[in-house]
Each structure stands twice: as structure tokens, then as C-alpha cells.
A and B are shown apart, each in its own frame.
Chain A
Amino acid sequence: MATDTAIHTEEFQVNMGPQHPSTHGVFRMVLTLDGERVVECEPHIGFLHRSMEKMAENRLYIQFLPMADRIDYLSSMFCSVAHCEAVEQLMEIEVPPRAKYLRTMFMELNRIASHCIFFGIFALDLGAVTPFLYGFRERELTMDLLEMTSGQRLTFNYVRFGGVAADLPESFFPAVEKFVKVFPARVTDYERILNENEIFLARTKGVGVVAAPRAVNYGWTGPNLRASGVDFDLRQNMPYEAYGELGYKPVVLSRGDCYERYLARLLEMRASHALIKKCVEGLPEGPTQKEKVSKFPKVPAGEVYVRVESPRGDYGLHLVSDGTDKPYRYKLRTPSFNNLSMIRELLRGVYLADIVPIFGSLDVILPDVDR
């Protein structure tokens, strides 16, 4: 009888999440591991499903406005801009130029805030604690600016049908000037602490590589797509608000690994900073709210699809109105959901320790996935 002397390994299953420090909220993965290798990953989503789309159908347009902020709470300005733009397009309201600039500026500030969080969390996912606090330090500056104008720090509820809720206060201009002045040096700080760190590079370069065709097939958008080398940014390709006038050249990289997805966001921070500077300099005078727009509009029957370039990608809203004061259908195409869709394929065969940077580099936010 032949004796089998080979050492056998046994696969075992580990449940990662929904309560886990690095699943960014309530994402759950059931991992089948062979030692440190991932054999199979079964993702579970829906722990944060709040039925946002259905709730929108049962509320007045203005009532859903503050709730729209909570669809993706890290980029709430984008959600409410999409909501208002959809209504405005159906009602054929032309927004005053000053309001357009204000919306654009605050969207870019919000983008910086969101990317600051990404920077901090991504480094934290790799075990570096200090960058996390660096990221939050700059996020604080943007939050202060947003708070000055909208009164809120996370879910701003600032955009209105036909304009914005409030004009800038006097104290805003010195504050934004200070921010514009210090921010590039702070991004240089970020670059210096991580970009040339051997350990950081070893952990992220060549990990989780996604080629351009694959990214497109999975419906990736935003920095993730541009890191894979696809030159597509709604701000450039389908400009809305003031982006057409300001002009924007997207950040496009080529390799599509974790490091480039991280780098794309870091470079976008600089690009956003340039946009904010342009917005402040070119801010037109005039009203911030179109006159005679009802706060409780009856939106004419019809349908519209609005796309906004959120920090996570292409945020799409398909709004169908039947002529009443409530939406008939409110369908969202959120970027996080599509960006997350590849996770099973991406994680197959990687090391257990690579799960966290790969998942983190997608910059997925769970309320955006589950709605």
C-alpha cells in the first residue's frame, strides 16, 4: 500500500464583515481561504439598504432634497445637485450663473473632502495610522468652508431648485483664500509620506490590476476608470453647471493597479484645488436663486437622465415625472455599486492581506452601494 506523504492543506471559510474594521461600513465577504490565499470570495451587500428610491416616490421633491444628501454622505453635494438638476431640466429652469459657480465650487470642495477621507482610510488599511489624521486635518478645512455657507458639515442641504440656499458670507473669502494657499503644500505632505515609501509601493504596485477593457465592461467610472487609462470624465465629456466654462482636463493614468487608483485621487485633489481657485476668481455677480421658482413644484410630465461626476464616479439619476408634485420613478445609478461589482473576480487568488488595499482602493461607500 502506497503511503501518501504529501502535506495536505485544507480550505477554510472566514467571515469578514459586516462588523470588521476595514470593510468600510457594512460590507460582508465570506472568504474561502487556503492558508493565506483567497480561493473564493462571496460578497454580500444590502446591509445598509434604506429604500431611498422608493422613499423618493412617496415624498415631495423638496422633501427628498435633504434625504438625497444621505445617499452618499461623503459626497452629498453631488447627490443634491443631481436631484435639483433633474427637476430643473424637466421644469426648464435656467440657473443663474453665480449659483452655477457656487454649486461647482462646493462640489469640488466636497470632492476634496471625500478624497481626503480616501487618502486617510487607504493608508490606515495598510497599517499606517498617521496619514489618516493628516487627511482629516485638511478635510476639516473644507468642512469649515462648507459649514460657513450651508450651516452643515456633512449633509449640506445647500442646493435648491433654481439656485442655492444662501449666498457666500463675507468671512468666506479670506477663509477660502487661506485654504487655496495652504492646500497644495498639504498634498505635497501626503505625497512625501506615502508616494515614495518602499513598503507602501510594495503593497500597492501591481496589486489588483484592472485593464481598461475590463474596467469598461464592468461599468467602472470615476478615478478607478481613469486609473486604468480610460479618458472619461463627465466634467470634460458632458460638462454641466460651470464646468463647461471653467474647462477641465481629467487625470488619466495607465496601469490600473491599487497604487494608480490611489495616485489618481491624489492628483484629482490638485485638479479640484485648481478648479476652486478658478471658481473663486471668476465668480460672477448676480442672484443666487432664480426668481419665481416654487418651493413645492409640480414637475411637468416627462423623464430625464442626469449624470454628475461624483468623487466615486458617474452618479446617474433617472427621474420620471407624471406631472404631480412627487416623482413617479426615481432610479439611481450609483458609482460605488458598479465599482464594487468586480470585487469577487479581483479577490480570487490574492493574499488575505491584499483584500484590504484592493477593496480600499475602489473607494466604495456602502450607503452608495445599497441606497
Chain B
Amino acid sequence: MIIYPILSRLNEWWKGVVAAYGLPPEFVPAGQMVVNGVLIAGFIAALVLFLIWLTRKVSAHIQQRFGPMRVGWHGAVQTVADALKLVQKEDTTPRGCDRPVFNIAPFLAFAPTVVAFVVIPFGDGAIVRDLNIGVLFLFAVTTINVIAIIAGGWASGSKYSLLGGFRSAAQLVSYEVPLVLSALGVIMLAGSMRLGAIVDAQSRVWFVAYQPLAFVIYVIAATAEVNRTPFDIPEAEQELVAGFNVEYSGMKFAMFFLAEFANMFLVSAIAATLFLGGWRGPWLPGEFWFLGKSFAIVLLLMFFRWTYPRLRVDQLMTFAWKFLLPLAFLNLIITGLIVVLI
């Protein structure tokens, strides 16, 4: 992709600036971080705009509608218009809320997602930091999202949002366990937590072939992690109106929305990296393969979203603890045995 030459040129330029003005050498990585951060945030914003449009189009065609058609080609700039509308809206803070927590929660929801993109390999060498604990870092960082949701639900001072926040806490913590366990199988096969190494280990056969069960568990748990139907209990529209974000409006609501869609892409990207060979693929550039695989998973999640009803909260818990978790352990044991024996 064209971003990386620009990025490296920018980094070189910054190095030059620091040297020319005699600034302390610590300024070099600091400036590079700023540049990288801005680029990732921009990428996520553009991605989310596209994802929202895609959701609307996919849902419309499943439901025999057209979806947005007026603003731009097939409504292509509809989400831009919606985003502009949200920016213009008055930033209201309801009475009786916990003001600082209320204000910080949307950003707390969005920030971990941006940070998580740091370790995602978009293509050959197209990775901001290939940490040697990449997978651990990913799961650790994305878990912060729970705190944001509880904080938002609690601080709103509404019973509906509080219920939504607590439901979400229970759900996310429960599904985190099978999610991580399913990824463990991949780590055992690759022998590394570095995402670059995991992709390299799949140069011949994708891990989904060795770990089909883990892949299924991962997709189910990931659907729950990002609060999509049939696991969208925290924001069950029919019971809780909108759940934890019921009191949010304007830009703060947009931040939650942004985080939700960015997270959806993130879990799909992780699935593509861990199970589907990441950016590896013939002929075309790696970025193309990576995005293609990620979007395939995103589409799968969208099909779930627009086909299935929602589970009840106790059924959700039963499913996680009594079904998914034992399966994940079983998968882990089998994988372990095979790795040891071969």
C-alpha cells in the first residue's frame, strides 16, 4: 500500500528535523509515535465509515430493501453526512450523572481499539510494532473495553444503562475466556506470540485447517466480544432501549459507535491473522489479502446480525461456561498432545 512509503519518508524527515535543530534524540521515537497514531486513527475512522455503509447495504439487501441510495453513489457518502450531523449535535450531559466518568467513558472505549491496531500485520512488514507478545497484548488491550462500557452504564445515572453495563460486564468477561483459549491453540502450533511469526508459520497451510474447532469457537466468542446479535444483550434494544449508551448523544455517542465498528473489524482482522494466514496469499499484494480475509469475517458477522434473534442472558452464560469453555479446553488438550507427540 502507498501508506508505508509515505510513513517511512515522514519518519526519515522527522529524524532529519530532530538532527538539524539539535533536539534531544528522544524526540525521534516520540514524533514517530505521533505520526503512526494519527495514521492509525485516520485509517480506523475511514474504515468505520465504510463499515457502517456496508452494514446498511448488507442489511438492506438481506431484507429486500435498497438501503441508503440518495447521498452519493448508492449512498456512499451517507455515513459521512451522518457523522457530520453527529458532530454538529449539542453535547448534552444528563442531570444526575457522574460527570467525569460519563465524559471519559466514550474515549476509553475507543482508545484500546486504536492501540490494538498497532500489532496487526496488514501486509509483508506492514506492521507498526511486531511485539513478541503480540497476541497477549491484543487480548489484554481489548479487554479495557469492558471498563468503558461499565463506566458508561454506571455514570449515565439511568437504570436501563446500568443494567446494560452489568450485562455487558458479565458477557465480556465470560466470553474472554474461550476467546483466549481458542487463540492458545494457534500459539502452541506457531510456538510464538508474535503475530508476524504466526503469519509466517502459516506460509504453507492456514491454521484453520489444523484448528477448525478453535476457529469456530473464536468466531462465536468474538461475536459476543463485540456485542453483535445473537449476543447483543448489553444493548438489547427491545428490553433496555439501547443499553449502556442510552444517555449518550452527539459526538460521545459517535465514539461508542466508532469503537463498536472498529472492534468488529479488529476481531475479524485477528481471526484472519490467527487462522486464515494473515496477509499471505498468491499473486496479489499482502494488504489486499489481509483486507479481503478480514472483510470476509466481517460479512459473516453481519450475516449473523441480520438473521438471528437474541439469546437471553442466562442462556448466554450457560452457552459460554458449559459449552464453549469445555470445547475450548478439549481443543487445547488435543492440540497439546499432538504438538508433544509430533
Contacts and interface: CB of A to CB of B under 8 A. Distances in A.
A286 interface: no
Interface stretch (B14-22, B26-34, B135-143, B303-311): B303-311
A77 interface: no
A355 B312 CA distance: 11
A352 B306 contact: no
12 contacts: A21-B238, A36-B313, A127-B230, A127-B237, A130-B63, A197-B308, A199-B311, A202-B311, A352-B313, A353-B236, A353-B310, A353-B312
Interface string B217-255: 000000000000110110011110100000000000000
Interface in A123-170: 123-130, 132-134, 137
Contacts of B306: 129-130
A124 B237 CA distance: 9
Interface string A92-135: 00000000000000000000000000000001111111101110
B90 interface: no
Interface of A is mostly: helix
B239 A129 contact: no
A260 to B, nearest CB: 17
Contacts of A123: 309
Nearest to A133: B63
A134 B65 CA distance: 10
A179 interface: no
B156 to A, nearest CB: 14
A202 B316 CA distance: 11
Contacts of B238: 21-22, 124-127, 356
A356 B159 contact: no
Contacts of A127: 229-230, 232, 236-238, 308-310
A14 interface: yes
B309 A355 contact: no
B235 to A, nearest CB: 10
Contacts of B313: 36, 351-353
A366 to B, nearest CB: 17
Interface string B122-152: 0000000000000000000000000000000
Interface footprint category on B: 20 to 34
A98 B229 CA distance: 50
B230 A199 contact: yes
B255 to A, nearest CB: 23
A200 B306 CA distance: 14
B309 A352 contact: no
A133 B64 contact: yes
A126 B309 contact: yes
A203 B308 contact: no
B24 to A, nearest CB: 54
A47 B64 CA distance: 35
A202 B239 contact: no
Contacts of A355: 239
A182 interface: no
A21 B65 CA distance: 22
B315 A202 contact: yes
Contacts of A132: 63
**9 closest Cβ pairs, A-B complex:** A127-B310, A126-B309, A128-B309, A133-B63, A22-B238, A353-B312, A356-B238, A127-B309, A14-B159
Nearest to B308: A199
Contacts of B315: 202-203
Interface of A: 12, 14, 20-22, 36, 123-130, 132-134, 137, 193-194, 197, 199-200, 202-203, 351-356
B163 interface: yes
A14, A199, A202, A354 interface centre (most CB from chain B within 10 Å):
A199
Contacts of B314: 36, 351
A12 B233 CA distance: 20
B226 to A, nearest CB: 15
A118 to B, nearest CB: 15
A369 to B, nearest CB: 20
Given A126-B310, A203-B312, A356-B239, 14 more contacts: A36-B313, A126-B309, A127-B236, A128-B229, A129-B59, A129-B306, A130-B62, A133-B63, A134-B64, A137-B64, A197-B309, A199-B309, A202-B312, A356-B238
A194 B308 CA distance: 9
A12 B65 CA distance: 42
Contacts of B65: 133
B289 interface: no
Contacts of A124: 238
Contact of A20 (B59, B163, B241): B241
B53 interface: no
B236 A128 contact: no
Contacts of B160: 14
Interface in B54-74: 59, 62-65
Nearest to A356: B238
Contacts of A126: 238, 309-310
Given A22-B238, A127-B236, A353-B239, A199 B310 contact: yes
Interface string B190-233: 00000000000000000000000000000000000000011011
